[in-house]
Amino acid sequence: MRPSMTLRFAHQPDLAATMDIQIPALAWQPVGDGRWRRTYHLDGDPIPVEVTEADHALRFFFDTPPDTAALVRTRLTDAFGTMVGDLTLDTHPTLKAIRDRYRGVIVMTAAPFEALVLTILSQNRTGEIVRQVYPALAAASGGATPQRLAALSVDQLAALIRSAGPYKASRLAETAKIVATIGVDAFDRIVRQPGPQALVYLESLPGVAHKTAACVLVFAAATRTTLPVDTHLFRVVDRLGLASHAGRNTKTVRDQLIVTLLRYGPDLAPAHFLFLLVGRSTCTASAPNCGACFLAEHCQHAATTPPGSEQP
Ligand code: SF4
């Protein structure tokens, strides 16, 4: 198939890292040879799309009539937006080192409702499971829109999302009904409004706490005033000395940590997932592998811990 669209970038894209852990990336699946595939649904019709790396570019492949091709192009252009290398992370040597390491990673975005569904599915589950469940859910419903999910029974939803946790079916069904009632355009406007109201609104939805709401805001509304705090980020920023804390991830500690991190600049919000990449590679919970970590020369933990004596 000939490429249907090419997006060019200032840096060489790193598609594998891009697709690793970001919530919008969980709608995409690896299909071999460095290719990734997802299916968009336009009025219920499936439109499969593949993407692969090229020289300072991404090439997309899809087959669709001209009238819908423009819509697919718009969605793809929106989804693959900023590169990590273009974020302003010069305020601290550690952040600059992280940005330089991951400069080719693309910060992905999703529509608010899709981001919400993907994030709920990812609660307490791996990305691999979401990658299996979400396409099946979208295919069965003709696109995971609020109206189409609201039309499914809780039992149907539970069967479709079983490996992501059937207990999430009722919260997905309730949320879909709420969003279908107000309309997806109104929902998008609420989520994308500036200020704290969007966070408050999202946290009022069934099964949505701060981390899920912050994921939706960061990935679907380009929010720069909050970020999701998961166990990897909580651990890594402390070890690095960027935001030291003691104790458990309580609401008070989390809120202070977010304030501290955003003092390094608002681009910390879209860059938050880079700490998860570090946390899953060298800075694991069991024992940090500082000897193999590109951040060792910047790291408070590495500077104060003799080699071979790393403790979690
Ligand atoms: S140097 Fe060690 S403690 Fe610091 S971020 Fe890397 S693995 Fe974690």
Q: Let me know whether 211 and 241 are in one domain.
A: no
Judged by phi (left if over 0) then psi (alpha if -120 to 50, else beta), residue 123 lies in beta
Count of domains in the chain? 3
Location of structure tokens 């499971």: 129
| Domain end among 49, 81, 108 | 108
| Domain end among 161, 187, 221 | 221
| Domain end among 192, 221, 250 | 221
Q: Let me know whether 165 and 252 are in one domain.
A: no
For residue 282, give the ligand 1 atom closest to its CA. Answer: 7
Angle between helices 127-141 and 112-122 (to 10 degrees): 130
Give yes or no for residue 279 CB within 6 A of ligand 1: no
Q: What is the pLDDT of residues 230-246, one digit of tens each?
A: 999 999 999 999 999 88
255-259 contacts, C-beta under 8 A, 24 or more apart: 257/229, 258/226, 258/227, 258/229
Give yes or no for residue 295 CB within 6 A of ligand 1: yes
Q: What is the pLDDT of residues 267-280, one digit of tens each?
A: 999 999 999 999 99
CATH of the domain at 252: 1.10.1670.10
Q: Which residues of 182-204 are buried (b: 16+ CB within 10 A; e: fewer)?
A: eeeeebbebbeeeeeebbeebee
CATH of the domain at 103: 3.30.310.20
Could you give the CA distance from residue 153 to residue 184 in angstroms, rounded to a whole number? 20
For residue 301, give the ligand 1 atom closest to its CA. Answer: 3
Q: Give the range of the structural domain holding residue 145, as residue numbers without chain letter.
A: 110-221
The answer on pLDDT for 312 being more than 80 is no
Q: Let me know whether 261 and 284 are in one domain.
A: yes
Give yes or no for residue 293 CB within 6 A of ligand 1: yes
Q: What is the CA radius of gyration of the chain?
A: 20
99 closest CA partner among 35, 214, 14, 24 = 14
d(CA 196, ligand 1 centre) in Å: 33
Could you give the CA distance from residue 130 to residue 101 in angstroms, rounded to a whole number? 27
Q: What is the pLDDT of residues 141-167, one digit of tens each?
A: 999 999 999 999 999 999 999 999 999
Give yes or no for residue 242 CB within 6 A of ligand 1: no
What pLDDT does 310 receive?
A: 56
Q: Which of 238, 298, 301, 311 to mutate to test the pocket of ligand 1 (most atoms within 8 A of CB)?
A: 301
